[in-house]
Amino acid sequence: MDKKVTVIGAGNVGATTAQRLAEKELCDVVLIDIVEGFPQGKALDLTEAAPIEKHDAHLTGSNRYEASAGSDIIIITAGIPRKPGMSRDDLISTNAGIVKNVIQQVSKLSPKSILIIVSNPLDAMCHVAYEASGFPKNRVLGMAGVLDSARFRAFIAMELNVSVENTHAFVLGGHGDTMVPLPRYSTVAGIPITELLSKERIDALIDRTRKGGAEIVGLIKTGSAFYAPASAAVEMTESILKDKKKILPCAAYLEGEYGINDLFIGVPVKLGKNGIEEIIQISLTDDEKEALQKSADAVAELKALLNLN
């Protein structure tokens, strides 16, 4: 492979991300974790699956950040996962320290890389990464909207008994209870779901989308979601590595767009080889603007807890 992606954190999200990157033959993959032998074992296991899965991606596991040197993309999944009763925000202090330490080291080793943040609370951790790396804003982004939109799409497909491939959805705002699913921009084969579902059913799907992560945490009990988050991170990675210019909802640093300044908020962006190549501004109703501002206010509160500029 001529591309290299490092995944920091070899837990469920990180290992599944590494698996999907390799099986899509997008890049060679380095898996890094602080637990001795853990990333090495995961990488070896994935390598031994390669003859069956028919890919030639090279997988490496390491406890040393030096293995990440020269990466095109670095995906940060490190941190403690949510447990039942915990909000994403409860993780902020512990995970901020972890993410800051990781970013300070890997950004020096891969100064031209693009950072994709997966660690929670997502929007706040994007700020930590932005400050710690000193990278331009187009090369720091968060995986949030792709996951939230996928959940909304899945629930729409289940509700209408249609193929998920026919569903499209946009979820904006922070990655949490204040996220802003947009029914007007959510369609089935081009038909807005407002034409197919009652307001009551749409509201129920929106509520389930907002609580999608918590629902899984409540069911698993000993961990949090990882299959869908990994898929979301890989879709973003593929769009960047292949310069596909996909329009995807991601956490991006806003400087006046949507009337929001100096915050990472989920908005539609064009993802290509340079990372975020354009922030797409769509027209919003007054109610949608109010909901997005409420979400931005929640992110601003988390940012304030980090004592960042």
Any idea which residues carry the catalytic annotation?
175
- How far lies 182's CA from each of 119, 148, 204, 249, in Å? 24, 11, 13, 12
> In 10 A of CB 165, how many CB atoms?
9
In three-state secondary structure terms, 240 is helix
Q: Can you point out the beta strands (E) in 97-232?
A: 114-117, 140-142, 167-168, 171-172, 180-181, 187-188, 191-192
| Contacts with 28 (C-beta within 8 Å, 6 or more apart), sequence order | 1, 3, 4, 5, 57, 58, 59, 60
The neighbouring-strand residues paired with 248 are 269
- Provide the sign of the torsion angle of the four alpha carbons 64, 66, 67, 68, taken in this order: positive
- CA separation for the pair 264, 232 (Å, rounded): 18
- CA separation for the pair 222, 101 (Å, rounded): 26
- CA separation for the pair 267, 284 (Å, rounded): 12
Could you check whether the bond before residue 39 is cis, i.e. omega within 30 degrees of 0?
no
In three-state secondary structure terms, 220 is helix
Contact 118, 6 (CB under 8 A): no
